[in-house]
Amino acid sequence: MQMFNSPYRSVLSCVRTVQRTEGFGAFYRSYTTQLTMNVPFQAIHFITYEFLQEHMNPLRGYNPTSHIVAGAVAGAVAAAATTPLDVCKTLLNTQENTALSSLNIRGHLSGMLNAFRTVYQLGGLGGFFKGVQARVIYQMPSTAIAWSVYEFFKYFLTKHRLEKRTSL
């Protein structure tokens, strides 16, 4: 439904049509690609956040500015680094007919290796980074908010627990 000019009017319509025309497996066509993308994204994201926190906030105190900045930068780095995987996942999810037919690919594209090959044939190395700016811009506020909320509640709950112990 995220595709431009999607023929579906609702999620239910989309699910019914895909199930009828492509079968249940179509819903999991890019499952391994999704995992292949999410694992490196999260690893890069957490490593970058922790690295930045070590430099910006070495005492690891509650510092909203460092949490927001480190979270945003970590999300940006992870998003940019995993964009090639996201491009392949999107191709597998959408099965973009115009792109596939331009390479005389009939039927459904499947598998990460085929997706990488197809993206390269369609756009060369630059094709793997289509939409990188939008992906980075989307991830930065999302990860900044997520880390700042996480750090706030960690601080709040830890402080509350310490206050309870000292009052006993």
Share of the chain above pLDDT 90, in %: 57
Give the pLDDT of residue 167: 66
Confidence category of residue 84, pLDDT binned at 50, 70, 90: very high
Quick one: average pLDDT of 105-121? 82
* pLDDT grade for 112, boundaries at 50, 70 and 90: confident
Cα–Cα distance list, 92 to 39, 100, 108, 114 (Å): 18, 11, 8, 9
Contacts of 108 (CB under 8 A, 6+ apart): 22, 26, 29, 95
Q: Residue 75: how many CB atoms within 10 A of its CB?
A: 27
Give strand ranges (E) for 8-147: none
pLDDT at 54 (0 to 100): 97
Report the C-alpha gap between 112 and 39 in whole angstroms.
15
3-state secondary structure string across 74-101 = HHHHHHHHCHHHHHHHHHHHHCCHHHHH
In whole angstroms, what is the distance from residue 25 CA to residue 28 CA? Answer: 5
If we measure between CA atoms, which residue out of 35, 18, 36 comes closest to residue 27?
18
Residue 123 pLDDT > 80: yes
Q: Is 120 within 8 Å of 128 (Cβ atoms)?
A: yes
Mean pLDDT across 118-145: 95
Query: How far apart (Å, rounded) are the C-alpha atoms in residues 123 and 116?
Result: 11
The mean-pLDDT minimum among 5-9, 53-57, 94-98 falls in 94-98
Please tell me the distance from the alpha carbon of residue 53 to that of residue 39, in angstroms, as a whole number: 21
Over the chain, what is the mean pLDDT? 88
pLDDT tens, residue by residue, 15-58: 999 999 989 888 887 688 788 889 999 999 999 999 999 999 99
Q: For residue 67, give both structure tokens.
A: 């949490």
